[in-house]
């Protein structure tokens, strides 16, 4: 039996995803020119996550959350999100409205 079939890898999650989504929501409040369709928002999250160091954990173990109180972590996420917004705004994967 392959590992893929034997174990539930959906229990793995990257804690940075929560931070990136929250940071994107905050930054888009003042970037009203940026498209917020499903495609663009997911593209921005994916791009920002690819520019941050992942923090994976197993959800079964419960709420052992990394905290965003770490300044270095917040700076990394904020910079990755700024970059992702600028890039997707300049090059959306759909025609501009």
Which residues bind to Zn ion, rule: CB under 5 A? Answer: 35, 37, 40
Identify whether the C-beta of residue 7 lies closer than 8 Å to the C-beta of residue 65. no
Nearer residue to Zn ion within complex by CB, 8 or 39: 39
CB count in 10 Å sphere of residue 43: 19
Tokens at 57, concatenated: 């954990």
Maximum Cα–Cα distance across the chain: 50
Q: How far is the CB of 78 from Zn ion (least distance, A)?
A: 22
Q: How far is the CB of 41 from Zn ion (least distance, A)?
A: 8
Tokens at 70, concatenated: 């770490």
Nearer residue to Zn ion within complex by CB, 42 or 66: 42
Nearer residue to Zn ion within complex by CB, 73 or 88: 88
Q: How far is the CB of 43 from Zn ion (least distance, A)?
A: 8
């Amino acid at each position: 039996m392959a590992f893929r079939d034997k174990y539930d890898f959906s229990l793995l999650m990257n804690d940075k995803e929560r931070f990136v989504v929250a940071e994107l929501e905050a930054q888009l409040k003042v970037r009203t020119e940026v498209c917020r369709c499903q495609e663009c928002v997911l593209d921005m999250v994916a791009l920002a996550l690819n520019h941050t160091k992942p923090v994976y954990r197993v959800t079964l173990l419960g709420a052992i959350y990394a905290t965003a109180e770490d300044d270095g972590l917040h700076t990394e996420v904020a910079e990755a999100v700024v970059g992702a917004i600028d890039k997707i705004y300049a090059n959306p994967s759909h025609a501009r409205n």
